[in-house]
Structure 1
Amino acid sequence: MTVKKTVVDCTRGISREERAIARRNKRESLISSGSDVRRKKKRRVRRFQKQTEKMVKLLKETLAAEAAEAAEEARLFNLEHPHQVVSSTPFQEKEFGDKPLQTIRASKDITPDLSAIVVSLALFDGSRMLFACSGLAIPSGTTKLELRRFVTSRRLVEEFNKNRNIDDKLRIDVCLPDNTHMDGFLGLYDKDIAIVTSCDFTYCAPTKDVCPVNLDLHAPLPSDGKIIAAARAFGSGRLMVTSGLLTGNGIARWEQITEAALGGPLVDQDAKFLGVNIRVEGPSSWFLPLMALCKRLENFQLLSSRTTDFRGYSLPPFVSSIIPSGFWFRIKQLDSLGYPRPPPLVLEFNGELLETFEEKFGQLLAWKGYPYSVSNPRSREYVWPLLPRDVVTNISRSVVKLASFNGSVRSFACTGLLIKWPGTEGTRTVILTSASLVRSRDDHFKIDNNLTIDVFLPPKQHAKGTLVFYHLNANLAIVSLDKGIRGIRPFDICHKGDLSKPVVAIARKIEAGFLMASKGEVVEYNPRDSYFEKLMLSTCKINKAGIGGPLINFDGAFVGMNHYDGSEVTPFMPRREIVQILKGEVNWRRQSGLSMDVLHGVGCGSRIHRRKWPLPEPYWYHGLLTMDKYDLHPHIGRQLQ
């Protein structure tokens, strides 16, 4: 029998050299993986540093812009107020009328009646009083806010403007008959009178201590010329009265009187209201009779206005409006942007300017490298992620912001699209936009030849544009560039877009230049109701900034050029009509030998064929200040008799 020997492994596993190799490989692997971690960490740090640098750069640019704006504000203020010197001498209010009411020959005790209609108005810069006079309570109209209106002398406006400074912190304090105080807001004025308004923000019923004077009770001037003047002292709240005589031509002479009587009432000895003091010199005063006062207030649109909102609001003839304290530069900005100035109280009570070029729509998209996220809280649109990346790139390099200016005042702002002019074999890049950019503000059927055009492609490229073609009936215009813009991708609008697919309306945000997009569909349109029979409609929601902007499909093909008329749908000029007009213009120029750089336009033709393109005008809105034309209060107030 053969015995099988057992084999014993005497190597004790792997050799020493193999173990050393394994350790070395493990160490190198750990080192390598650690290097990858460090490299990733360094990349993250570098990205964070770059992002931080961009944010710091943008913050510095913002601070520099704010400093430049403050310097411009100071320059404009000093330009308009070159000799503004504010007196350091404190104002001393002078009271009058120490005699009891019975000694000034009133036929009865009229103190309660006079006290209810007379307030004191004081002008302050911080805590320093600059001037004080009186005011007369008048009917307040019908608004959702509880307003109290007072008529006073224009002298208060003169003191306001004289003491205005760059800090712009002047304020009006109204002392009521019960010696309580309210803020006042100086508003409309003319050559003689001014209006101060207070508001009760508690929405309670107006206090019975103040009652408007009855402007419907007209009384003749007394034949014996004996009259009484009333005023209210701001410091003590005391009602002051004095007697006097009429001397003719709206002038009276008094036993005692001071400037505190400015804005105060005149009554006869039977306590019938006669007028309001508007000027005081020595012992004499000039007053505005009741009949003339009512006509002025009617002209101010304070007694019989049938306005339900502020659309188309403009100042009445011979009436001015004070620039509210704290809003001087804001008003100057509105002027430079071509917007209407607000009605009284709208700025002070945070009213809105609607139908502006700066409003946004749809989903926003910032340019590449912008360090902050942008959004539109008013919109739930989700568009940009649905578009192919190359389409978004093409849009960002072809859609520009346009603005036209008459001197330093902006006339219009909208969007434009860089295109290859059809018929020029792609050799000429121009901007397709709306003719509204260059229309005259005085005559819709003419262009304004004095306008300059600014072209902006974010983030920093500006160029001057020149109008070379317009078609007023079709409301389109072609603008050429005086210098090249880098990195553009002009659209070839001859490429046909499918109208059956969903479409996207594109525009540039007027302030920052962000892209805006809203999606929708092309819908049927009744040409009989059209202001241009070849228009079509989409359900995309845009605003005035979208005028002249492109309508594309999701393949990026050009479908048409958008217009805005304030309706729920968006009218647009179809691609085929635009191409036909532009090709026809090229052929006409070639036949006539006219250069492509020379301005040529197609007007509106005869008056019969003129079509006005509707465009909502900017207007101010404040829901609590609009008036109900069906609920105008009568003028009845405190009857002084």
Structure 2
Amino acid sequence: SPTSPGNRFSGILLDSAEVLPSTNPATAGQLVSKAGLERSMTKNKRRLMRGDEEQQRPYKRATRPRALSELSEQVVSRLRRSVVFLASFDGDTKLRECTGICIETSCSDSEATILTSRRLVPPTWPASLTIKVRLPNDQIVTGWIEDPGIYVDFFIVNIKEVSRVDATSLDRDIQFEPHTKAAAVCRCFSSGFLTVTSGLNLASPTSETIVSTCWIHKAGIGGPLVDFDGNFVGMNSSRTKMEKTAYVRRKQILRFLVFHGMVSVKEGVDDATQARINSEMKAIRPSLDATSIARLSESRKGALSEQVLARLSKSVAALASFHGDTKLRECTGICIESSCPGVTSFLTSINLIPLTWRASKITKNLKIKVRLLNDETVTGWIADPEIYVDFFIVNVAGVNATHVSLDRDMQFEPYRKVAAVCRNFNSGLLMDTSGVDLASPSALPDQTMFSTCQIDK
């Protein structure tokens, strides 16, 4: 239709829909229908209404009742009795809030320990900090953190008056298959409601990326990640932009607790395990009686011949970590083949360096000394320390040592006699203790193995 001089635009009637120019600058010059504009405004109105509801109920998106119903009643009941909510306060001002789970430790019967995220407390750590814990029975108690400086990824919060809280054990060495269903558990501080989100555990035994697809609210950080049988997989540590949740593995948490004496290490084996060992040893070596089995399992010092010790002495070294002139840890290591020219590599334990040391701190401030056969002490380094989980590779330059090959695919008979070898860092002496390899023929490749050889720290 013709445009009148006083109008900037004209309406065009086309298929009974009035068409208007777009009000979006990005689509200037384009035309939209009036009906389409009304539909868009209606959608925006609904979106705003949903936003208001979510602000009033901030945990609704994380609730997902369908995920809670996927778990059995027994699993949900156990989680209700062990999952708590924590909040940090500066006076009456709430600072942070996280989920936590009560775990078994060596604390007294009148106390309980709560595993939660390091994010519970701001880095500034106010002088008037208090920690409140909401228990499953809606009781709110005060908690505290002993030696907060030793923690990196999580905190252990201690509380009293804990008769109605069940503790979860972390020493069940369960192997979790990758890409299996898992659930992230959260408890709301204000309401006390337990919420669960389900997803997949994306971490494999060899994976460096430890995440799941369980979406969690910010307050769910610190809560447990469990499988659908309720077994503890790890602690949810942070959210990612890709709607994945990073978590700290159970094994890493347990290793930290053992080192700091928060859990007691079980000595020996239980009756059921010993009965299985005896049965399998008898099947492998029918001539052995119970007395012979007990004698084989006994750990003894000085069992290796002088010839074997002479060969090992050329490969076994003592290592120690230092911060300035202060010795932190010491371990034994063995020289292994290296593909780097001019570099000698030693395989040693992850315990050579305190768990509280971050990778950047290791490369900048830590010094590693290696004591060799001839009592020479050289300085070593660890390349890419963040890639290791159970062991370290320490490199030294300009050293001649006899390396041990790891690519000889030998089949070891189970329950055979073995020896553990160590070298003392201060004296340089080489020592050995004998025992029996307890690895079962049915053990999984990534399962933790044991022997009866007793060693010093």
Structure-1-length-normalised TM-score: 0.30
Query: Which fold has the larger relative contact order, with Cα–Cα distance below 8 Å and residues 6 or more apart in sequence?
Result: 1
